[in-house]
Structure 1
């Protein structure tokens, strides 16, 4: 449901101090107009020929996030203040889903024996709670030695520690850190069927389970316009777009640099429900840094599916330039939460003979300046 009433405002006690939300003073109906207008202007400035309408998809004006990244500083838990390097101590947040707010409230009761660190909390699709503690090595050692905090935390949640995502295990007299463990922390869809995605708490996912249904549906709809397509995907991650594409594609070559993400995708495909097992044979996984070099021959594919990092596609597009127009894939689906780099890539795609035929904003980040863009380009 989209709150389009121009008078809809989301109350927040930290509006004047917290930097997390920039648009709290703007009614949500006007936020929709603002973001749509900004994207339209950006594309115009880059000379992108746009469709007559930019679709706007929203799961609501607030309370969407099932993943929260925040900081610990001198006993305060929250986000940075406006024009400040000080953390604002936040007890409630209008961005959080009710389940995540409840988990965050309980987590705040912990008294930490050190002064700073980064934390991610999650609530999975089955209600499972997770915490990723990204602290300095000396603080991790102190936490393992102290024992009581970890023991209490493990009674309520699954825990990962540090950049290597190690899992603390109590041996009977001390804590040991074991290798990372894959769990189902997110969900995507094959048409009407939910598919749990295996990953780590620290893995990249979209922030909202509810908003992600809009993304999966749009990807599935667009790929479905080109049945039995051979697709190459850039930035597959844990498979959030890969899995919906498998529904109607003939084959998908999923390209990703992060090994841990690909481990999650491999397990997700292995654990597909019996009625979806046939889709597994369509998928091939390839690891490499595709912003710098791509070895695949684009003329062997009917479509491209891309969800790059903030820096955009970079060298991934180079092989298209050397192909004759009729050799280039007929369609290109591009998803990005950084419209600036997307617009630059679209300039190149337009010069290669692609035309933007559909574009949509997915408002995963209401009350902020940020948003996701989904676009479908077709070869003329």
Structure 2
């Protein structure tokens, strides 16, 4: 964990206009204290007993993000203004890693032939550059017809276009769009061994490669307290939590609704480093909407690993209610970027006989109100 200087202040020329950061005027040490107090109060208001100590994990007070989602509006590139639907034109951002800032600076030189759209820039584990252009269909067509911008982009970066993440390909006379392509855009760890995760520029990943090491370490440590555990995972995505758990677990059933994410996970497992290939047979992948219906018998598992969307676990927890106390999995690991829905789920888990024994904040979003929470619940 990076040492926190309690008096650190991050300077930003857009502090008064950009809505991206809300806490720039507060020293970083005070931000840490406030987030810990806020989480403890939130859980307490839901009747949840919290551990005496809440870990605060930080990779630094700024310059962490390796992906950026921003908007194009009338030639301006940036984020929405405070109390405004107008885009603030941003040249530099204290949230960006140095590699991403350099890529963003170069990207800003492009002159677009239309007025609005959404864009994601990404930097991969070895500095690979990617861009996802999420524009209206009519603007995508104009981009394909214009040709020069795409030619320029493809000299610098890997390009994905639209909600279907299509790849533009030059056939000698025009651009055509081909099916999505999986590449190594993120990294997790299995027992300290780095594992490249195959996904798309547009895929959901954690925002920071540097901060993600803390997540992998926590999952490994908590699963390691229950060696040879049979685990069911809700919301596996591309496998960022799956693989750290798999390194120690006896088996993992990874449940996910998004087919493109599961394609990435399947390729990642297929391409595991030779020293980790022995773990591949321990993973089973299952696709379905597990917020609404779960068919598995929870009594067949020793642990649950959950990283749900902002809406929380919803119907995923229903099968636990019908089990006797001794049939419920002995431990439950919960990770969330939305503590409000997490508190509701933890309140329900507490009623099922689980106790929150370890709790950590990962501050992936310094200078903002947001943070990631990881909790370990043990069956009493």
Q: TM-score band (shorter)?
A: over 0.9
Quote the residue 1:119 is aligned against: 119
1:1-380 pair list within 5 angstroms: 2=2, 4-380=4-380
State the Cα deviation string for residues 167-193 of structure 1 (Å, max 9, x = none). Answer: 001111100000000000000000110
Structure 2: distance between partners of 1:5 and 1:240: 30
**Cα RMSD (Å):** 0.6
Structure 1: distance between partners of 2:205 and 2:8: 28
Q: CA deviation at 1:69?
A: 0.2
Q: CA deviation at 1:4?
A: 2.5
State the Cα deviation string for residues 16-53 of structure 1 (Å, max 9, x = none). Answer: 00000000000100000010000000011000011101
State the Cα deviation string for residues 279-319 of structure 1 (Å, max 9, x = none). Answer: 10000000000000000000000000000000000000000
Structure 1: distance between partners of 2:188 and 2:248: 15
Structure 2: distance between partners of 1:193 and 1:2: 21
Q: Is the 8 A contact 1:2 1:61 kept in 2?
A: no
Q: Is the 8 A contact 2:4 2:60 kept in 1?
A: no
Q: Is the 8 A contact 1:3 1:29 kept in 2?
A: no
For 1:155, what is the secondary structure of its paired residue? helix
Structure 2: distance between partners of 1:9 and 1:146: 44
Q: CA deviation at 1:6?
A: 2.6
For 1:99, what is the secondary structure of its paired residue? helix
Q: Is the 8 A contact 2:42 2:343 kept in 1?
A: yes
State the Cα deviation string for residues 100-135 of structure 1 (Å, max 9, x = none). Answer: 000000000000000000000000001110000000
Q: Is the 8 A contact 1:77 1:89 kept in 2?
A: yes
For 1:261, what is the secondary structure of its paired residue? helix
Calculate the TM-score normalised by the size of structure 2.
Answer: 0.99
Count of aligned pairs: 380
Structure 2: distance between partners of 1:183 and 1:75: 30
1:364/1:246 CA distance change after superposition, 3 Å: same
For 2:139, what is the secondary structure of its paired residue? helix
For 1:11, what is the secondary structure of its paired residue? coil
1:9/1:3 CA distance change after superposition, 3 Å: farther
Q: Which runs of 4+ in 1 moved over 3 A?
A: none
Instruction: Give structure 1 stretches of 5+ with no counterpart.
Output: none
Structure 2: distance between partners of 1:295 and 1:262: 19
Structure 2: distance between partners of 1:49 and 1:97: 37
Calculate the TM-score normalised by the size of structure 1.
Answer: 0.99
